[in-house]
Amino acid sequence: MLLLFVLLQGLALSMYFTFLTFPRSQYMTTASYISGHAFEFTNNITQYLHLKKNNTALQKENVRLRSKLPQNLLQLDREYITINDTLHRIQYEYLPARVINSTHSKRNNYFTIDIGSSQRVERGMGVISSKGVIGVIQNVSENFAVVRTCLTEKVRIAAMIESTGEHGFIDWKGENSKYGTLSGISNDSKIKKWDAIVTRGSAGMFPQGIPIGKIVSSIIIEGKPLWDITLLFAENFRTVQRVYVVKNQLSREQAQLEAHHQSTNTQ
């Protein structure tokens, strides 16, 4: 009796802790076939609850993008020539997705989205919304993917303060879904309230400069030359429904180069 208890308990706990540290398998997550379809079904019913708010957010983004269209710009030079641009090349693509399941009040919170490997989603890609950063893809199945959001312990998204360029990592203390923390900023530098925190773009997950949040308060960590910065997230994780998965076309090149560099350094 006690033996069975210990045995089953050991099974459950080992599952919990291995999944937490090496989230490889997708069978026991919401990316699996059955739960993915179940959540898609319920989301089809409940998505109308936040429809108004989401439409406003998308409309705002449309306005911003529309203002950048060439037809809206005043032409200053009448005799322009079209140039086939060879200096710029598209590096980031955005795959639109819908959030079909989400949590916000647990210690580690995940979103399930309705696109997967058949839509070219891969593990480790960044996820953003129209307002800011959401998280990183953790598990992918054929038609669904699980996103590790900013509301997890150790989400480790590289971020920087936009005005100074000082960079650190995003973290979450697990209490309020509105506030996160930024760690690793040296306390030599001055911190201004309401400075924007944006992505650093160093790991190739996100382009540089995607908003994450704004600085609300900063305290010096005792015994360390670092600031403990609290930030207000740009996105409200409770109501977000439409997200984009960021596909970096050069990520493989960067990873290969960095791996090569590391292996040659250690030799």
Partner 1 sequence: MNLTLKNIVRFVLFFVLQVLVLNQIEIGTGAQIMIYPLFIFLLPVELNVIFLMAIGFALGICIDAMSNTYGLHASSLLTMAYLRPAIFRIFAPRDGYDALLETNLYTMGSKWFVKTFGILLLVHHFWFFMLEMFKLNEVLYVFQKTGLSALISFLISVFLQFLFLRKPKRNEA
Strand partners, 159: 168, 199
Of the candidates 246, 247, 248, 240, which has an alpha carbon nearest to the alpha carbon of residue 98? 240
Q: Per CB under 8 A, which region of 59-67, 75-83, 97-105, 129-137 contacts partner 1?
A: 97-105
Task: Assess 29 for contact with partner 1 (CB under 8 A).
Answer: yes
Size of the site for partner 1 (CB under 8 A): 36
**The one among 33, 37, 42, 254 contacting partner 1 by CB under 8 A:** 42
Q: Per CB under 8 A, which region of 10-18, 194-202, 212-220, 222-230 contacts partner 1?
A: 10-18
DSSP assignment of 151-205 equals SSTT---EEEETTT--EEEEE--SS-TTEEEEEEEETTS---TT-EEEE---SSS
CB of 100 to partner 1, least distance (A): 11
CB of 110 to partner 1, least distance (A): 5
Q: Per CB under 8 A, which region of 101-109, 186-194, 201-209, 225-233 contacts partner 1?
A: 101-109
Strands 196-199 and 211-220 come out as: antiparallel
Does residue 156 contact residue 117 with C-beta atoms inside 8 Å? Answer: no
What are 117's two structure tokens? 């490997």
Of the candidates 131, 130, 127, which has an alpha carbon nearest to the alpha carbon of residue 109? 127
Of residues 171-210, which lie at the interface with partner 1 (CB under 8 A)?
A: 174-175
CB of 225 to partner 1, least distance (A): 22
Task: Assess 37 for contact with partner 1 (CB under 8 A).
Answer: no
Q: Tokens 């971020």 correspond to what residue?
A: 159
Task: Assess 4 for contact with partner 1 (CB under 8 A).
Answer: yes
Q: Which is nearer to partner 1, 14 or 202 (CB)?
A: 14
Residues with Cβ within 8 Å of 72's Cβ and at least 6 positions away in sequence, in order, are 66
**The one among 57, 110, 168, 241 contacting partner 1 by CB under 8 A:** 110
Strand partners, 95: 245
- Residues within the interface to partner 1 (CB under 8 A): 1, 4-5, 8-9, 11-16, 19-20, 27-30, 32, 34-35, 38-39, 42, 46, 103-108, 110, 112, 146, 174-175, 238
